[in-house]
Structure 1
């Protein structure tokens, strides 16, 4: 039999078909099986049922259209975390990898990358307020609000999660209560925490080395602190405390200020108010130098006049522990 493809169409079709199958196995199926056989990164957990439902909500609500989960090895991406690794997505099962990975990776970064959002913004309350109305915590945000993920109740039940939305954005009557769908979505966002990789530092050196101390502090503050305390240092009424005219910020003894930034704060009354949102610890996210720059910026801005500190002061408190 002659291999005359121009005349024997059955032979031509068979060669093309089985050639396609062979190539698919070699360049797609076998590599996929090998990737799935990799051990998960140390410390990576599987999604809980709530977090998995949150992932589905993340996709169905279109979060993937504006947010990525892939940090590039570029200077401008350092603010989002270390460069992404394939093992960052090992929490997805093989079927989920086929169905969800394109959605998780995203294709356009209109909003910030979310690969490490659980570390960068670990406040559950903040995420709920941000979802209900992004402008309530980030004035310049162009993100869509998701009020349909919340209910308005005149008399919330004792087991309801009431969201302390700032008065300017709160409903005139009733309280904002998170639905299960909102809780699941926030649970998934808080799950997104990059794990350490040997040889890659989790704490990036200041991206503002060429700036003066105050400018570097301002940049670091805007990146790490302004979403809660606001750029004007006035915080958000009854939700996030102000730094402007703060007794802690202006104190001659900076130890409490340093300790709060390093180890966080929760449940302590500030000027007679117990704020519902926890101050997240920054000891694993920022270097001693970066924390010193932020604190010095806070102590010299908005009319504050606190004593300046050094990285050695931060190092000392860090060594003492909480």
Structure 2
């Protein structure tokens, strides 16, 4: 048989094919398989439901990954987006939708918008997500994100079983119609709410001990010779997205903190409880996220003290000891109904 590459093109083509397949296996397939085998899903990680998978497909098709990442880096800049740096096991459940279809490049590299790795914990309020998707400026005044009104429907009348998106004045349709949720908007919101970092097992925590996740502006400020948590910075990181930088909230969605009777009560128990345990009972503004699992007693005390002393509010400062006592006492019984 003639093995001369110059005269036998079949042999040349066969050699190229074998070389390509060999390199693909050695460089891509085997390392990826080994990585998948050595990084099982973290304890508590749950595979996406069918609705969440549809939302993920919509997330990719709408190009959300062009501006939003899903990868927290091990530097101070990313501290606000996750409780820790991302690890390979975070993506173990990111399965292929089909044999010949890729998982979709959701990690991203462009940080035009916030990282969404932990958005399900940072913001699990459906009302906020609906407002943000229909018109981002309705909840984030300076947002440069495009609006996605085609994910919703505009109707003349809201029927039984339909969920209306109550928009602040000036952000709804100009024709006076009502905006309602659709299967697309629900799926995308469900996917966004599913993005949550799981707690690392003890054997993985060691490698992150060296990282200082607290940037100096958030960590401390010098007050009369003592170091104290900066409530304003913590408020900006955790609360501003709903209650706004000036504490005015969003009409029909998130209450104003300016002059609020709850914020200005001499006894801060109710306000601390809301921040710690959230608010799921029916009220004109809907549910609020519980920050107790995410924030320490010291941080919650700093945030609450900032709220009680800003925007012409004039209530006494709150201490970490007060927060700790309410945390240990647990959620009030009447709030569990």
- 1:321 & 1:103 partners in 2: Cα distance? 42
**Structure 1: any 5+ residue segments left out of the alignment?**
269-273
SS at match of 2:106: helix
**TM-score w.r.t. structure 2 length?**
0.86
* Count of residues in Structure 1 that have an aligned counterpart in Structure 2: 315
1:196 aligned onto 2:205: no
Match of 2:280 in 1: 266
- 2:280 & 2:297 partners in 1: Cα distance? 22
Match of 2:178 in 1: 175
1:235 aligned onto 2:238: no
Corresponding residue to 1:253 among 245, 248, 267: 267
Whether contact under 8 Å (1:126, 1:277) holds in the other structure is: no
Match of 2:26 in 1: 26
Match of 2:311 in 1: 302
Match of 1:282 in 2: 291
**TM-score w.r.t. structure 1 length?**
0.89
- 2:320 & 2:214 partners in 1: Cα distance? 13
Please give the per-residue CA displacement for 1:82-137, whole angstroms capped at 9, x wherever unaligned: 21122212222245698454521112110000011000001011000100000000
SS at match of 2:317: coil
Q: CA deviation at 1:8?
A: 6.8
Please give the per-residue CA displacement for 1:21-56, whole angstroms capped at 9, x wherever unaligned: 222212222222333445322111111111111011
- Which sits farther off after the overlay, 15-24 or 51-60? 15-24
SS at match of 2:105: helix
Q: CA deviation at 1:4?
A: 7.0
Match of 1:211 in 2: 221
**Structure 2: any 5+ residue segments left out of the alignment?**
332-337
Q: CA RMSD in A?
A: 2.4
Q: CA deviation at 1:156?
A: 1.2
Q: CA deviation at 1:2?
A: 10
Corresponding residue to 1:141 among 128, 140, 143: 143
Q: CA deviation at 1:277?
A: 2.8
Whether contact under 8 Å (1:122, 1:280) holds in the other structure is: yes
- 1:205 & 1:66 partners in 2: Cα distance? 23
